[in-house]
């Protein structure tokens, strides 16, 4: 909290927020070793047929929903899900009492979590009842569980805690600022690193992008052209021949094989282009 901030000029206040934002970014550094454990466990879970679920309340819950919902169009995968206290209504407005609803959290965990899954709670305080109840139930069902917290907390039933120690907020209690910024970066890192490990990225290109609109079709063509070494006209033709799957189209052109043969090669290489086209 900063005394006198309400008396600052706009330029001074924005500079203050800029410095605060850097503190949120820097908080990720000490958490990287624990984040590595999370990513590796998520990859293991997905390869075993499991999924990754975020759980949060309020701002933390909304960030989880946002990150999980972007995995499908970006990477062509449905292995990330998100639970927010209060349900879909809580995405647009506060649902009073939802973060304290332990019974609802347990019921949801029983319904969606399996023993092959990973559950990741997101809570600035590290003490949100809904989140802890969800994680405890998930652990009892055999899932691996982690908590992302902005406070120093430890829970014996968890596999670990990712501590994003961002310190006091500029506006006391407003965790939508530093804490939420660090959480957003953290979730980005988890989902992106997992997708890279699963072969959803090649040389910085999202080769499993879902070309669901005109803009993404054009992006898919550029990706195919860059990765396979063909012009965009050919890329468009191979995209159609592949059933609108950019990665399959790349293998078809690069290896001069049919769609079926390309799909077989991808299956044999765990979906990774690196082992097929180098």
Give catalytic residue positions.
70, 99
DSSP 8-state code for residue 202: B
What lies within 8 Å, CB to CB, of 170 at 6+ separation is 1, 2, 5, 16, 17, 20, 177, 178
Q: What is the largest CA-CA distance in the chain?
A: 68
| The pair of three-digit structure tokens given for residue 235, joined into one six-digit string | 């890329």
What lies within 8 Å, CB to CB, of 267 at 6+ separation is none
Rounded CA gap, 156 and 179, in Å? 23
Nearest alpha-carbon partner for 175 in 61, 11, 28: 61
- Angle at which helices 32-47 and 178-197 pack, to 10 degrees? 40
């Amino acid at each position: 909290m900063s005394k006198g901030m309400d008396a600052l000029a706009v330029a001074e206040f924005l500079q203050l927020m800029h410095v605060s934002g850097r503190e949120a970014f820097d908080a990720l550094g000490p958490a990287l070793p624990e984040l590595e454990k999370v990513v590796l466990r998520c990859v293991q879970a997905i390869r075993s047929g499991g999924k990754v679920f975020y759980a949060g309340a309020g701002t933390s819950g909304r960030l989880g929903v946002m990150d999980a919902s972007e995995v499908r169009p970006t990477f062509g995968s449905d292995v990330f899900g998100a639970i927010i206290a209060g349900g879909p209504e809580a995405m647009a407005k506060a649902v009073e009492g939802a973060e304290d609803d332990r019974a609802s959290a347990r019921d949801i965990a029983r319904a969606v979590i399996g023993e092959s899954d990973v559950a990741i709670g997101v809570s600035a305080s590290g003490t949100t009842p809904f989140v802890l109840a969800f994680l405890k139930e998930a652990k009892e069902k055999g899932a691996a569980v982690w908590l992302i917290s902005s406070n120093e907390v430890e829970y014996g039933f968890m596999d670990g805690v990712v501590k994003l120690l961002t310190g006091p907020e500029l506006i006391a209690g407003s965790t939508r600022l530093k804490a939420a910024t660090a959480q957003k970066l953290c979730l980005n890192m988890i989902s992106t690193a997992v997708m890279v490990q699963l072969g959803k990225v090649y040389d910085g290109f999202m080769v499993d992008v879902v070309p669901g609109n005109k803009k993404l079709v054009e992006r898919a063509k550029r990706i195919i052209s860059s990765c396979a070494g063909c012009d965009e006209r050919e890329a468009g033709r191979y995209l159609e021949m592949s059933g609108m799957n950019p990665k399959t189209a790349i293998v078809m052109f690069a290896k001069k094989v049919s769609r079926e043969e390309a799909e077989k090669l991808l299956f044999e290489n765990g979906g990774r282009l690196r082992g097929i086209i180098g």
